């Protein structure tokens, strides 16, 4: 790789469409920070945190640490990826993905661990009825735009292990639960959880968001709730009888549950309710035309394409600036990405929750709110076994997994332009994610810069 001086000319700010078409892996350059390899973990509020499930008579649930070396703010992405390699064991013994559909489990009496059920890939997402259809979403209301300044979104951080880091703790909850498909109660229970059964009789073509809702709730959310209930029903039971108690056809307790709600300004498509009838997380559903698999080869821009495609070349914890619109803003001019982010944020504020999920069934993204910062996972696709992720996310929301297990990186904004957020500045890019703070505008660190490039401040040309 040859080196050249950093350009001194005034930067040209890109449009979203141009950003989406670029190859988003940046060349290596100057390392941020002092080089200290110490993790800085964001402090989480004490309120609403618990190590126990939100159910009456519950007791603390023990779960193991699966990440010993946590991600470091501003650290090398190579070290970050090495961290993820420790989770490769998750793929062992996974049921194979065969074609566009999900095969039913064997009925020869072989015991079926609940973890294997959760690691079963769902069917392929059905197509939208027409090309370029279902691409719109509602604009923010003026009440949402005028939310109190103290509660507005300011920073957006992509953190790939957001939910992945919880999978080991989630497995601990169900390690001793095994389905005996030869028993009527077990098989009846399995029919409400296994993707081969829950995907039957669902729409074959997506004509509107109601069709998306049918797939997401039937195949991902409600089965995950059933698995949570199985854990809750059996957690105080001796190991020998855990599965007998967990998979009863008729179970006691109506909660946790997922349903709709009204009476507020910002209404999500679903809310997770605990045993005290308190909301714990929100769910927003969009069509695959809006929330779909990201690809550098795709000519179609989908929301969050730029940050999601470029996260591998970014130091952990780098934040993007979110420009909250002014009270006189023309909300009808907002792009889809800005509309969806504001919608999710305002729903979390309205229902006083810290966790949210956005899904089209084709692709699922998880969100965590901390102060004025919104952390989001990478997209979880069919081959990632999304039911496992949804189960872990619900378990976290309900406190079945201690919220101390959720490790978030320190948020870094030191690279932002000095005039960031000022609508009067020349580089202001309007409401939404400020284009000057997209990951591809940062000379990302891939293998570490040379000493010369550090001293001169110039990027390495690849």
The ranges assigned to domains in the chain are 2-92+138-166+253-461
Dihedral in degrees, nearest 10, Cα atoms 168, 170, 171, 175: 140
Evaluate whether 435 touches 14 at the Cβ level (below 8 Å). Answer: yes
pLDDT at 168: 95
Write out the two tokens for 110.
């072989």
Whole-prediction pTM: 0.78
Lowest mean pLDDT among 21-25, 141-145, 154-158: 21-25
The count of other CB atoms within 10 Å of the CB of residue 154 is: 16
Evaluate whether 226 touches 189 at the Cβ level (below 8 Å). Answer: yes
pLDDT at 13: 39
Report d(CA 234, CA 400) in Å as an integer: 13
Residue-wise pLDDT for 277-319, tens only, equals: 999 999 999 999 998 876 555 555 567 877 787 666 677 888 9
Q: Is the pLDDT of residue 111 over 80?
A: yes
Residue-wise pLDDT for 188-228, tens only, equals: 899 999 999 999 999 999 999 999 999 999 999 999 999 99
Report d(CA 385, CA 95) in Å as an integer: 10
The count of other CB atoms within 10 Å of the CB of residue 440 is: 20
pLDDT over 90 for what percent of the chain? 48
Contacts of 397 by beta carbon, 8 Å cutoff, 6+ apart: 272, 280, 281, 353, 355
Report d(CA 233, CA 49) in Å as an integer: 22
Write out the two tokens for 112.
């079926």
Report d(CA 390, CA 359) in Å as an integer: 11
Report d(CA 441, CA 317) in Å as an integer: 15
Distance, C-alpha 363 to centroid of its chain: 10
- Long-range contacts of residues 60-65, Cβ cutoff 8 Å, at least 24 apart: 60/402, 61/172, 61/173, 61/235, 61/400, 61/401, 61/402, 62/172, 63/168, 63/169, 63/170, 63/172, 63/173, 63/401, 63/402, 63/405, 64/168, 64/169, 64/172, 65/168, 65/405
Q: Which of 402, 410, 409, 408 shows the shortest CA–CA distance to 168? A: 402
Residue-wise pLDDT for 146-167, tens only, equals: 999 999 999 999 998 999 999 9
Between these two residues, 27 and 132, which has the higher pLDDT value? 132
Q: Is the pLDDT of residue 363 over 70?
A: yes
Distance, C-alpha 279 to centroid of its chain: 18
Q: pLDDT band for position 456 (50/70/90)?
A: very low
Report d(CA 161, CA 408) in Å as an integer: 9
């Amino acid at each position: 790789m040859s080196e050249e001086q950093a350009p001194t000319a005034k930067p040209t700010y890109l449009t979203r469409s141009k950003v989406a078409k670029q190859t988003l892996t940046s060349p290596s350059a100057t390392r941020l920070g002092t080089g200290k390899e110490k993790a800085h973990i964001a402090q989480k509020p004490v309120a609403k945190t618990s190590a126990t499930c939100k159910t009456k008579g519950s007791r603390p649930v023990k779960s193991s640490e699966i990440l010993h070396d946590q991600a470091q703010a501003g650290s090398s992405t190579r070290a970050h990826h090495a961290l993820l390699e420790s989770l490769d064991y998750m793929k062992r013994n996974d049921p194979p993905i065969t074609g566009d559909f999900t095969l039913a489990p064997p009925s020869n009496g072989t015991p079926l661990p609940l973890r294997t059920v959760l690691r079963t890939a769902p069917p392929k997402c059905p197509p939208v009825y027409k090309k370029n259809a279902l691409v719109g979403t509602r604009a923010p209301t003026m009440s949402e735009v005028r939310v109190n300044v103290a509660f507005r979104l300011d920073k957006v951080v992509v953190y790939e292990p957001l939910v992945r880091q919880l999978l080991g703790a989630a497995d601990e909850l169900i390690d001793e639960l095994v389905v005996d498909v030869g028993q009527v109660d077990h098989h009846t229970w399995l029919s409400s959880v296994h993707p081969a059964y829950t995907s039957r009789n669902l729409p074959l073509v997506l004509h509107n968001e109601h069709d998306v809702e049918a797939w997401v709730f039937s195949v991902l959310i409600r089965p995950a709730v059933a698995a949570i209930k199985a854990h809750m029903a059996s957690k105080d039971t001796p190991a020998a009888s855990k599965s007998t108690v967990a998979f009863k056809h008729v179970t006691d307790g109506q909660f946790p549950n997922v349903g709709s709600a009204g009476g507020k300004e910002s209404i999500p498509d679903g809310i997770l309710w605990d045993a005290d009838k308190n909301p714990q997380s929100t769910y927003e559903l969009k069509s695959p035309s809006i929330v779909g698999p990201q690809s550098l080869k795709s000519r179609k821009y989908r929301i969050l394409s730029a940050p999601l495609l470029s996260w591998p070349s970014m130091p952990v914890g780098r934040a993007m600036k979110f420009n909250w619109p002014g009270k006189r803003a023309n909300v009808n001019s907002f792009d889809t990405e800005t509309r969806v982010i504001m919608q999710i944020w305002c729903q979390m504020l309205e229902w006083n929750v810290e966790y949210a999920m956005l899904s089209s069934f084709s692709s699922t993204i998880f969100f965590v709110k901390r102060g004025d910062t919104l952390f989001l996972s990478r997209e979880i696709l069919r081959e990632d076994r999304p039911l496992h992720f949804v189960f872990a996310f619900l378990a976290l929301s309900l406190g079945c997994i201690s919220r101390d297990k959720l490790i978030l990186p320190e948020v870094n904004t030191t690279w932002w332009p000095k005039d960031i957020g000022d609508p009067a500045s020349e580089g202001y890019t309007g409401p939404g994610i400020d284009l000057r703070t997209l990951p591809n505008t940062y000379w990302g660190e891939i293998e570490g810069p040379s000493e010369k490039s550090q001293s001169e401040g110039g990027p390495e040309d690849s």
